[in-house]
Amino acid sequence: MRTIRDAIDDLYRRREAIAGRSVRMAGKQHPQGRLTAQERLELLLDPGSFVEIDTFARPEGEEGPGDGYGDGVITGYGEIDGRTVCVFSQDASFRGGSLGKVHGRRILKIMELAMKAGRPLIGINDGGGARIQEGVESQAMYGEIFRRNVQASGQIPQISLIMGYCAGGASYSPALTDFVVMVDRTSHMFITGPDVVKTVTGEEVDFEELGGGRTHSTRSGNVHYLGADEEDAIAYVRELLSHLPDNNAGEAPVFDALDPAGRPLLDRAPTKLAKKLDHLVPDAPTQPYDMHEAIEGVVDDGEFLEVQELFAQNIIVGFARIEGRSVGVVANQPLHFAGCLDIDAAEKAARFVRTCNAFNVPILTFVDVPGFLPGTGQEWNGIIRRGAKLIYAYAEATVPMVTVITRKAYGAGYDVLGSKHLGADVNLAWPSAEIAIMGAQGATSIVHRRRLAQVQAEGGDVDKVRAELEQEYQDRYCTPYVAAELGYIDAVITPSSTRVHVARALRALRNEALPSPRAGRGNIPL
């Protein structure tokens, strides 16, 4: 007869066998420059906070003590900065981290727990895709995971870390989450691998070029951050989570907004970063400047966590804090394409605005936009439909929105980037702002083309007349005061006072109602 002591001893033996998996993992992962599934969780979570669930789950055919326990994935919950999160971490050392029935059920269980408890879900992906030996059951598990991703979308933050291979159908689950993080050189994500690509299309491409982190960060836009190594990627996720709430019914953590003397940050004299803003915009309208400096001069301590930094660099998106509270920042970047909007920039910004709106994060927009990028490539690839996504995102947003126009706000670019007409709450402009259909040079060429032609025909000084007409247009239309007179701009402010104006506006809007006044469900132009 089995005694209680026997049962306890059996439990300890099984636990020891499971503990041995870390040794097996390390032997296979470390030579490839990768951490084990357990080590990744230890880096991600607060020390000693992890609780594993379904520890003894294993696939059929594994009967030895400890054999197959976990089925290639670790699932459970723990804490990040004292906040509970649900996690799973795939173990590539067991059957390549492939997803079978038990493996899939473990992930589904922790996803459902995250949704039920309203906790963020973080998935660490490192597997070869569906387990061929389990056939349709493996495919079914992926379908169930996709459905849970969609059900959780906009309800809880979902973050995916790609730490090794994420191939085939496995790559669609990260694509359905809010943020995807990869590691340079050691992680790869693709639907079909290099061998299949060569067989079907004849193209020769290696893993890195096809689906490496740099490819997805710069070309496809599938990745929101490229870590230098696994430690860097995990540190980014921890910082990212500090800007997000546990779920869509809460708000992001609030940090102390007092200086060492206990005074509110806004009571300080303007910082060096803020004072620099008075001289940031160049006199020459075609001369670029770095919009990061404008952001840093406004947000708390100049700290900005950028998202998709390497993709569509003509638009900047990311998180910062104002008076200790999280804000999402969207900004044109004059250093790239003069800040023009194109397909990639519009979709990048639209996705970010919708993410902020889903999780109650106010949106701060900095505008310096000459308009949409012209060209047949843009038109033929759908800039009208895809640019409309940005309009839709701003127009449906119900979180507080503050917009600052620093220089150019021309044509449709003015409308689509957090304008009053799309529902922004407070719109500010620097004295250097130019709010018009187009710049003075282009407008003069169109409006006064007959007069200029006449002057030229009569042998007059065309350059002098053109300069006078351009200046006339500049003085009359390319200022923020016409828009301010109409109420489209709430205040024209000195650049160095931007932080104070933004902070006070967000403070006033803090209790703004969140539910959208629109009935039913909209149909975003996908």
11-62, pLDDT tens digit by residue? 666 666 666 666 667 777 888 878 999 999 999 999 999 999 998 888 776 6
423: nearest Cα among 386, 387, 398: 398
As a residue count, the chain comes to 526
515 domain residue, yes or no: no
**Has residue 21 been placed in a domain?**
yes
- Amino acid letter for position 193: G
Tell me the pLDDT of the chain averaged across its residues.
89
Between CA 193 and CA 210 the distance in angstroms is 8
- Same domain, yes or no: 131 and 36: yes
Residues 150 and 186 placed together within one structural domain of the fold: yes
Cβ-Cβ contacts under 8 Å for 453 (sequence gap 6 or more): none
Whether 348 and 491 share a structural domain: yes
Contact 165, 127 (CB under 8 A): yes
- The span from the CA of 484 to the CA of 475, in Å, is 15
CATH of residue 292: 3.90.226.10
Residue 519 lies in a domain: no
Q: What pLDDT score does 293 carry?
A: 96
Tell me if 347 sits within 8 A of 221, measured CB to CB.
yes
371-429 pLDDT per residue, tens: 999 999 999 999 999 999 999 999 999 999 999 999 999 999 999 999 999 999 999 99
Question: pLDDT over 90 for what percent of the chain?
Answer: 69
Q: Report if residue 316 sits inside a domain.
A: yes
Task: Give me 17's structure tokens.
Answer: 């066998």
Residues 34, 37, 39: CA angle, nearest 5 degrees: 75
Q: What is the 3-state secondary structure (H, E, C) of 93-119?
A: CCHHHCECHHHHHHHHHHHHHHHHHCC
Question: Quick one: average pLDDT of 457-462?
Answer: 82
- In three-state secondary structure terms, 86 is strand
The reply to whether 514 falls in a domain is: no
Q: Is pLDDT larger for residue 79 or for residue 20?
A: 79
Judged on CB neighbours under 10 Å (0-12, 13-18, 19+), 521 is exposed
Residue 46 sits in which domain range? 4-241
Q: Which residue has the higher pLDDT, 298 or 135?
A: 298
Which pLDDT tens digit goes with each residue over 224-245?
Answer: 999 999 999 999 999 999 999 9
Same domain, 222 and 318: no
Confidence category of residue 519, pLDDT binned at 50, 70, 90: very low
Q: Does any domain span residue 187?
A: yes
Amino acid (one-letter) located at 272: K
Whether residue 338 sits in one domain with residue 407: yes
Instruction: Count structural domains, the chain.
Output: 3
39 and 176 housed in the same domain: yes
Q: Are residues 449 and 360 in the same domain?
A: no
* 159 contacts 179 by C-beta, under 8 angstroms: yes
**Residue 517's pLDDT band (boundaries 50, 70, 90)?**
very low
Dihedral of alpha carbons 278, 271, 243, 490, sign: negative
> Residue 80 domain-assigned?
yes
DSSP letter string, 321-371: EETTEEEEEEEE-TTTGGG-B-HHHHHHHHHHHHHHHHTT--EEEEEEE--
Are 431 and 465 found together in one domain? no
Cα–Cα distance measured from residue 307 to residue 139, given in angstroms and rounded to the nearest whole number: 32
Distance separating alpha carbons of residues 22 and 26, to the nearest angstrom: 6
- Which stretch of 1-15, 224-238, 325-339 has the lowest confidence by average pLDDT? 1-15
Phi/psi at 388 (5° precision)? -65, -20
Residues 371 and 469 placed together within one structural domain of the fold: no
* Residue 268 pLDDT > 60: no
Q: Are residues 491 and 380 in the same domain?
A: yes
Are 346 and 316 found together in one domain? Answer: yes
Residue 370 has pLDDT above 70, yes or no: yes
Higher pLDDT, 456 or 405: 405
Q: Which residues pair with 188 in a beta bridge?
A: 165, 212
Predicted local distance difference test score (pLDDT) of residue 516? 47
Indicate whether 65 and 142 sit together in one domain.
Answer: yes
Q: Which amino acid is at 113?
A: L
* Residue with token string 């999780």: 359
Residue 89 near residue 73, CB atoms below 8 Å: yes
The answer to whether position 492 is within a domain reads: yes
**pLDDT tens digit sequence for 440-453:** 777 777 887 888 78
270 vs 395, which has greater pLDDT? 395
Q: What are 102-145's pLDDT values in tens digits?
A: 999 999 999 999 999 999 999 999 988 878 788 898 899 999 99
Write 237-240 long-range contacts (CB < 8 A, 24+).
237/44, 237/122, 237/159, 237/161, 237/179, 237/181, 238/44, 238/80, 238/81, 239/305, 240/159, 240/179, 240/305, 240/307, 240/319
pLDDT at 325: 95
Which of 77-86, 341-350, 516-525 bottoms out in mean pLDDT, i.e. has the lowest?
A: 516-525
With CA atoms as reference, report the closest residue to 118 among 146, 147, 77: 77
Lowest-confidence pick of 177-181, 364-368, 369-373, 477-481: 477-481
Asked if 280 and 218 touch (Cβ cutoff 8 Å), the reply is no
**Distance between CA 215 and CA 233 in Å, rounded?**
16
- Residue 347 pLDDT more than 50? yes
